[in-house]
Homo-oligomer: A and B are copies of this chain.
Amino acid sequence: MRILGIHADRVWYKVTKKTKMAEPEPVREDEMDNCVLLFATVEKSDEVTPELTVSSTVESVKLRLSRLGATRVMLFPYAHLASDLGCPGVSQWILKSIQSRLIEEGIETKRAAFGWYKEFEIKSKGHPMADFSLTVCPFAGGECDKSSKCCQNESKNC
């Protein structure tokens, strides 16, 4: 799971067009103020242990929110952070599960439409911790530290 995070004053999006994997009844337009925008790419390797991907991502995001003093999340499916994408079914399951788990933790969390092209507007805060990336390891749990058997095995078939 790859995430690019932006601590934002405001995020807005609106769906423009379906892809083949579009979810049928998305929220077509939405916005959020004072939030952390999480551009998220589910990778093929996340299909091995999707539950671990969800729990590890939720823990990493909670920690990051706490450091930022942020309480709101806009989870934004974004296929451009990795080349080896997970299949749409698992990817949606993972993103919806992350949303549910964050909401259970008391964090207001919106999820942008999966499988739709979207126009969007972002106003970032620009402080030293405002932009960040997270790579969650689906094998070891937690953030990638290059020590799991997957990173050791460059064939990536683990």
A residues sitting closer than 8 Å to B (CB atoms) are: 4, 14, 16-17, 19, 78, 80-81, 83, 117-128, 130-133, 135, 154-156
Contact = CB atoms under 8 A, between A and B. Distances in A.
So how many copies of this chain end up in the complex?
2
A154 B81 CA distance: 20
A121 B17 CA distance: 23
A126 B120 contact: yes
- Is chain A's interface secondary structure helix, strand, loop, or mixed overall? strand
Contacts of A14: 126
Given A16-B126, A17-B128, A83 B154 contact: no
Contact of A130 (B117, B123, B128, B133): B117
A123 B121 CA distance: 4
A121 B124 contact: yes
A135 B78 contact: no
B128 A119 contact: no
Contacts of A126: 14, 16, 117-120
Given A19-B128, A119-B125, 7 more contacts: A16-B126, A117-B130, A118-B124, A119-B124, A121-B122, A121-B123, A122-B122
A127 B80 contact: no
Contacts of A127: 16-17, 117
